[in-house]
Structure 1
Amino acid sequence: MNKFKLSILCSTLIFSPLAVTTSVHAAQTVSAIPAVNQQLIDPQGMIMRDGNRLALTWSGMPSQGSVAIKWLDVASGKSQTLNANVQNGQLSIDDPNPHRRTLFMLPAGKTTITLAERKVPAPGMDNLRDMGGLKTADGRYTKWGLAYRADTLYKAKPAGYSYLNNMNMGYVFDLRRAEEIAKKPDPALDGVAYYHTQIPDSPPAYADVSWDSNEAIFKFVSFPRAETFYVDTNVFMVEAKKSHQSMKQVFETALKGDGKAMVWHCAGGKDRTGYVSAMFLAALGVPQETIVNEYLLTNEYRQDFDRQELADMSKVFNNDPQAIKGFSAIQQSRPEYILAGLKRIEQQYGSVDRYLEQEVGVTPQDIARLKQLYTE
């Protein structure tokens, strides 16, 4: 397989945040595309990593002084408390639980805020992230440490594999095609159930497209139809019966409510993964604007990889402007891509809840239970 194939299908560059739910951004040049502001989806605060150092900010944190922080190891359930000093509205600490998934309980006046790193630091993984901490329309928040989205787990380095085994993981949903899986299979994780829940990503109108060689890729991205590929693909994923069957498996597993975490992934963790994530988050009551901005985080997390890939492929294309433009469109995570699928659902079904009920069999009672299990 061409070394660029899997990353092209699900990788991205940096893109701007969605300002309002219904807006669609025009394509921008690479140099003009800013990073997504993670605060758009983390209203309670966030944790950022620099090596073994963690910087924590949260709503209601004191501007100065000592605070007691409780941290929880998600795999073992063990917790400890540490005292740390806030200086000038900033808190920086060494990771108290290295190489393991950790939740932090932080004091905010009379309440406590739970936070975790959104981008999971499993070595080798570019786009493994937690979908916790997202505010729902009714003022609740999605729970941390229960639902993850990712690029292919095949990429995990030995230390990344060890990290994955310390995440309280119970279920893996592989959204790739069978031929992708055969060439880059997921590693077996201890005590984890694996499901092949393919999400179709090849619309009939693009049946002639091949990703198996640089020449084939160049042929495709040299024409404007490459710029509409993921618009059409997101609509196709919504409509495909195979998508409905795969989503049924995801939701049936989620409804078990056994406290084990789930992860779904494709190759780069962008569109197939984005479709499943959007359906799951919408079922929990997360607003569309937040869902789109969460989708755009792929741009931020994969920016270094994507810049290098674009530079490499630009040489292959002899710096042909149209090919570079088309290839960028394939790489990028753009609002209009995921909005195309969401708008098709709205047009045909009225809401994601009705779509899930009619096509996936997720009842209103199921939705209520999902909210009970995955929000707080």
Structure 2
Amino acid sequence: MPLSRRALLSTATAAVFAAATAPAVAATGSRLRATAVRHIPLQGAVNVRDLGGYVTYTGGRVRHGLVYRADALGKLTDSDVTTLAGLRLGRAVDFRIPLEVQYDGADRLPAGVVPVSRPITDNGLFGQLLAAIGSRDPVRQEQMLGGGRAAAFMNEVYRSFVTSAANRAQFGLTLRELAGLGSTPSLYHCTSGKDRTGWTSYLLLTALGVPEATAVGDYLASNTFRAAYDAKVREGLKQGGLMQNPDLIIPLQEVRTAYLNTALDEVRTAYGSPFRYLTDGLGLELRTLSRLQDRLVD
């Protein structure tokens, strides 16, 4: 790509992020229908998606088959592994911390896919959830999760995406690698594929020039794909006698625009704009952002 076009793309990316300084749109106005997202149906994971297909504000389109987002891959069936093999992945980046991997198991991946462990702290979320459920004590569970405390905890998780230097380094490395993988497809995931994975996807899509409302819609689509599975988990907790009121964990299971706005508010406070968060916070050079455009946008 000629240098002049690279410069244009860098300027355009900055403009997109400047526009993103407004709070994320309300959930009711930005949810994507399931049919608008290229979902990869699997038996052992429910939130696996191709990020391709979204139209950018300049009329380009994010290329299919290069970047995938997912939830944990440790419970994939043999058929699921065969499906993943068809994606021709070069690598699978795992954002889970060791406790999550220990509990849910290592990824099951097709032969030839390079597993990359890149833990991003969940700010104690997974441990908090295990402790609350494991107590089997409805009073303690209410004290830990009730009265808005679960949602407040989630807001702190999202704030740490911006305030933690270690988290920023991992997000930055992930986006930097995506810019340099050429034609090799890549996947990244966490446990539920909604928070660390959701933030990464939001950053990537907006950096590519996907309109804010569309990027938020992709983020919120996790609620659609996870709804049945999460409801089954809550029912199992109740039937198993672990929780009298499993609805206490709903704020931990869902994504919400309030959570995303918490991170974006912290971005604006610390960096002035999401674009500066990318360049100053995550250490991405303008040429890296242009390479993302070159590689991922038609």
The bucket for the TM-score relative to the shorter chain is 0.7 to 0.9
Q: Which residue of 2 is the match for residue 249 of structure 1? A: 173
**Structure exhibiting the larger radius of gyration computed from Cα positions:** 1
C-alpha deviation, 1:181, in angstroms:
1.9
Q: Does 1:133 align with 2:128?
A: no
The 5 Å alignment of 1:192-341 reads 192-202=113-123, 209=128, 211-212=130-131, 213-215=134-136, 218-219=141-142, 220-314=144-238, 316=241, 319-320=244-245, 324=247, 326-341=248-263
Matched, 1:189 2:103: no
Q: Which amino acid aligns with 2:123?
A: S
Whether 1:347 and 2:275 are equivalent positions in the alignment is no
Q: Does residue 371 of the first structure (1) align with residue 293 of the second (2)? A: yes
Cα deviation for residue 36 of structure 1 reads 4.0
Rounded to whole Å, the distance in 2 between the matches of 1:284 and 1:208 is 34
Higher helix share: 2
Match of 2:95 in 1: 175
For 1:207 and 1:121, the matched residues in 2 are separated by: 25
Whole-angstrom CA distance in 2 between matches of 1:144 and 1:224: 39
Deviations 1:125-145, CA, capped at 9 Å, x for gaps: 211001111122222111111
Give the root-mean-square deviation of aligned CA atoms: 2.8
Q: Which residue identity does 2:171 align to in structure 1? A: M
The 2-side partners of 1:199 and 1:352 are apart by 20
Aligned partners of 2:46 and 2:225: how far apart in 1? 6
Structure 2 portions without partners, runs of 5+: 1-21
Letter of the aligned partner of 1:186 in structure 2? D
Q: State TM-score, norm by structure 2.
A: 0.81
Quickly say closer, same or farther: Cα 1:22–1:267, change in 2 above 3 A. Answer: closer
- TM superposition outliers: structure 1 runs of 4+ over 6 Å: none
Q: 1:155 to 1:318 in 2, by over 3 A?
A: closer
How far apart are 1:155 and its partner, in Å? 2.0
Which blocks of at least 5 consecutive residues in structure 1 are unaligned?
Answer: 1-19, 26-32, 47-116
The percent identity for this pair of structures is: 25
User: 1:240 Cα deviation (Å)?
Assistant: 1.2
Q: How much has 1:152 moved relative to structure 2? A: 0.6
Q: Distance in 1 between matches of 2:118 and 2:198?
A: 14
How many residue pairs get aligned? The number is 270
User: Higher mean Cα deviation, 133-142 or 163-172?
Assistant: 133-142
Q: Which has the higher strand share?
A: 1
Distance 1:37 1:292, change over 3 A: closer
Aligned equivalents of 1:22 and 1:202: distance in 2? Answer: 23
Tell me the alpha carbon deviations over residues 356-375 of structure 1, each in whole angstroms, 9 at most, x when there is no partner: 21122211111111111101
> Displacement of 1:208 after TM fit?
8.9
Alpha-carbon shift at residue 319 of structure 1 (Å): 4.7
**Secondary structure at the residue paired with 1:172?**
strand
SS of alignment partner, residue 151 of structure 2 = helix
Contact between 1:274 and 1:295, CA under 8 Å: does it hold in 2? yes
| Greater relative contact order structure (CA < 8 Å, 6+ sep) | 2
Distance 1:235 1:168, change over 3 A: same
Amino acid at match of 1:332: E
Q: Give per-residue Cα distances to partners, 1:256-287, cap 9 Å, x unaligned.
A: 23211111111111111111111221221222
Contact in 2 for aligned 1:198/1:242 (Cα 8 Å): no
Q: TM-score, normalised on structure 1?
A: 0.65
